[in-house]
């Protein structure tokens, strides 16, 4: 706000001085020039009434000659006053119009509004740095989950897109460089309600600067940064960044996981998707020879993870300069050429290949590569990289087996980290399990949700989040996992919920059964169809309903209910 006041006073200094001088001269003249009252006596304006008269005369409002008719001398002075003040006001108004169109002033006003909006937030919020493909998708997902966020974006067009977006929550947005420390402070980095910073700009250098600044100024904050190079990732690790996301590495890792354990890969997709959508089918990339088109960051990651699964890979790269720069670090089977042409594909062995990956940064070329390869070998498993969200329709029409969209991969990982605590830990533990374990869990989730993607959440058994359960724990009652799955309306029926993981003092227990005993302070990770979370929360807040779910005995509520219950017991005992 200080900047707005400074710019206003700097631009309006001359108009304000001119108005003050004009009013001073006009008022002084009216005070000095004598007039006549209704008795013909000499009469002078005092300063207050002179100011009053000039105030409605200067803007050409006019109420007439008050309190007495003016003398010719006074009328001559009033004519001079009108022209003097009107010209001064026109000059001042022109300066005001110029000021409100000044880019520096409009930027200062926008920043002031942004700062006020951020300071008005009284809930936990995240600072999202970057509103491009990834940032816009993430902000929409966070708002859909009722999570507050603040955005810093340097591209004015993207800022305008956010203002036009129909979101359920107000999202303050600043047009500026998120790597500038001042902008992070203005976005609420030091405010107590700020719980994390998400560095999702398109520049690794900017993301590193954002993460480093956030960790140095607020070491306790959760900082998640997206990078596309190993050098940037190594730099962030030295500053103890909480999570470093490389979408190319993540997708390649999950592709390798789908080859090795498709059920565990499918479990990950189900648990991080928005609830209420049809469940995805299992994706099983085949083993055999694969052709990678493009040996950039994505192509290198895919080559590395497929090789780790024992899959033979041929690479096609059209950029000869990149090939020359990577001498000594190239795959054994490399073809230099464009994969949009059939010849390099034939040379790479596409006829006998099991799969093809189109991984360049051009969506049209990626689709062309996949379609050309499919014409040669219709049995191919097809993976293509999608760089622009606007191309959703054409990639959907291509009916590919897998689409690598960096923004979607990043958002999936971020959501699993910040929306549901311990979901990332559960998924990490799940990767160590075998296919039989994953298949059994997938079937349990399918039955519990009726074929729709589940809602996943963490329940904390403490006095704040589960006061009803806390009261029973303090009375010495034993609460088991099965008690929390009891339907409070029909005790003979179990709620279709799956307990994914139990956490106690940092120790994790996967898939605790109904007889698993709970303690005060425990945490349980659940997944179920959308809506059951509220039922469980109501049960945990109501000790009488929870006790009824445990032993089936009804308990009176309130003083009258307890009195009536005692009277009924007394009659029965008599």
Report pLDDT digits (tens) over 223-268: 999 988 778 888 887 777 788 888 898 899 989 988 988 999 899 8
**What confidence category does residue 48 fall into, taking pLDDT thresholds of 50, 70 and 90?**
very high
Mean pLDDT, residues 415-424: 81
User: What whole-number distance in Å separates Cα of residue 142 and Cα of residue 477?
Assistant: 38
Query: Are the CB atoms for 495 and 447 separated by under 8 Å?
Result: no
**What confidence category does residue 138 fall into, taking pLDDT thresholds of 50, 70 and 90?**
very high
The pLDDT of residue 135: 92
> Residue 141, exposed/middle/buried by CB under 10 A (0-12, 13-18, 19+)?
middle
Structural domains of the chain, ranges and CATH numbers in brackets: 1-101 (1.10.287.70), 105-245 (3.40.50.720), 286-400 (3.40.50.720), 454-559 (3.30.70.1450)
pLDDT tens-place string over residues 396-409: 999 999 999 888 88
Residue among 451, 255, 270, 444 nearest 356 (CA): 255
Q: What is the 3-state composition of the chain as percent helix, strand, coil, each rounded to the nearest 5?
A: 50, 15, 35
**Mean pLDDT, the chain, whole residue set:** 87
pLDDT(550) > 80: no
Residue among 329, 359, 334 nearest 344 (CA): 334
pLDDT(26) > 80: yes
As a whole number of Å, the CA-based R_g of the chain is 35
Mean pLDDT, residues 280-309: 90
pLDDT tens-place string over residues 147-162: 999 999 999 999 999 9
User: What whole-number distance in Å separates Cα of residue 152 and Cα of residue 499?
Assistant: 38
Q: Does residue 574 sit in helix, strand or coil?
A: coil
Per the document, the length of the chain is 574
The pLDDT of residue 530: 86
User: What whole-number distance in Å separates Cα of residue 91 and Cα of residue 417?
Assistant: 57
Model's pTM, two decimal places? 0.74
User: What whole-number distance in Å separates Cα of residue 389 and Cα of residue 305?
Assistant: 26
Listed in sequence order, the residues at least 6 apart from 509 whose beta carbon sits closer than 8 Å to its beta carbon are 501, 502, 503, 516
pLDDT(556) > 60: no
**What confidence category does residue 55 fall into, taking pLDDT thresholds of 50, 70 and 90?**
confident
Mean pLDDT, residues 476-492: 82
Place of tokens 């994953």: 438
Give the lowest-confidence range in 40-54, 56-70, 306-320. Answer: 56-70
**What confidence category does residue 461 fall into, taking pLDDT thresholds of 50, 70 and 90?**
very high
C-beta neighbour count of 58 within 10 angstroms: 20
The pLDDT of residue 553: 65
């Amino acid at each position: 706000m200080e900047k707005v006041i400074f710019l206003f006073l700097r631009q309006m200094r001359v108009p304000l001085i001119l108005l003050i001088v004009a009013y001073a001269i006009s008022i002084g003249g009216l005070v000095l020039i004598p007039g006549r009252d209704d008795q013909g006596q000499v009469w002078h304006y005092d300063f207050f009434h002179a100011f009053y008269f000039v105030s409605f005369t200067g803007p050409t409002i006019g109420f007439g000659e008050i309190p007495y008719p003016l003398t010719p001398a006074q009328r001559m002075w009033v004519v001079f006053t009108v022209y003097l003040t009107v010209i001064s006001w026109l000059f001042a108004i022109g300066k005001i119009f110029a000021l409100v169109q000044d880019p520096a002033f409009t930027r200062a006003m926008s920043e002031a509004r942004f700062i006020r909006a951020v300071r008005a937030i009284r809930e936990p919020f995240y600072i999202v740095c970057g509103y491009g493909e990834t940032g816009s998708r993430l902000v929409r997902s966070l708002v859909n989950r009722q999570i507050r966020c603040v955005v810093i974006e340097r591209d004015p067009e993207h800022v305008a897109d956010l203002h036009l977006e129909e979101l359920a929550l107000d999202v303050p947005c600043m047009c500026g460089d998120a790597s500038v420390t001042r902008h992070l402070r203005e976005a609420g980095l030091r405010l107590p309600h700020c719980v994390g910073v998400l560095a999702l700009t398109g520049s690794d250098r900017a993301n590193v600067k954002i993460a480093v600044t956030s960790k140095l100024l607020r070491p306790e904050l959760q900082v998640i940064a997206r990078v596309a190079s190993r050098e940037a990732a190594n730099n962030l690790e030295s500053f103890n960044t909480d999570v470093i996301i490389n979408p190319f590495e993540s997708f390649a890792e999950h592709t390798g996981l789908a080859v090795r354990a498709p059920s565990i890969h499918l479990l990950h997709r189900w648990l991080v998707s928005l609830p209420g959508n049809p469940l995805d089918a299992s994706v099983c990339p085949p083993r055999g020879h694969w052709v990678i088109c493009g040996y950039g960051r994505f192509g290198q990651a895919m080559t590395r993870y497929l090789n780790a699964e024992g899959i033979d890979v041929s690479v096609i790269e059209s950029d000869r300069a990149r090939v020359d720069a990577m001498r000594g670090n190239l795959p054994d089977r490399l073809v230099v050429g464009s994969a949009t042409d059939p010849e390099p594909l034939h040379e790479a062995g596409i006829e006998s290949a099991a799969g093809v990956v189109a991984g360049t940064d051009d969506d049209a070329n990626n689709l062309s590569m996949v379609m050309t390869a499919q014409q040669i070998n219709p049995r191919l498993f097809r993976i293509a990289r999608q760089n622009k969200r606007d191309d959703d329709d054409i990639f959907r029409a291509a009916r590919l087996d897998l689409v690598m969209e960096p923004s979607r991969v990043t958002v999936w990982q971020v959501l699993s980290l910040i929306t549901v605590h311990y979901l990332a830990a559960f998924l990490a533990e799940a990767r160590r399990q075998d296919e039989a374990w994953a298949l059994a869990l997938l079937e349990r989730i399918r039955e519990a949700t009726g074929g729709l993607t589940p809602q996943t959440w963490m329940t904390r058994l403490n006095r704040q989040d589960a006061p009803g359960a806390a009261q029973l724990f303090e009375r010495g009652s034993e609460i088991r996992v099965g008690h929390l799955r009891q339907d409070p309306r029909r005790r003979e029926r179990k709620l279709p919920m799956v307990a994914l993981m139990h956490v106690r003092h940092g120790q994790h227990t996967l898939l605790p059964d109904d007889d698993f005993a709970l303690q005060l302070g425990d945490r349980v990770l659940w997944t179920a169809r959308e809506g059951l979370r509220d039922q469980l929360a109501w049960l945990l807040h109501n000790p009488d309903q929870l006790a009824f779910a445990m032993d089936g005995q009804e308990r009176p509520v309130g003083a009258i209910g307890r009195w009536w219950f005692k009277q009924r017991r007394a009659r029965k005992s008599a």
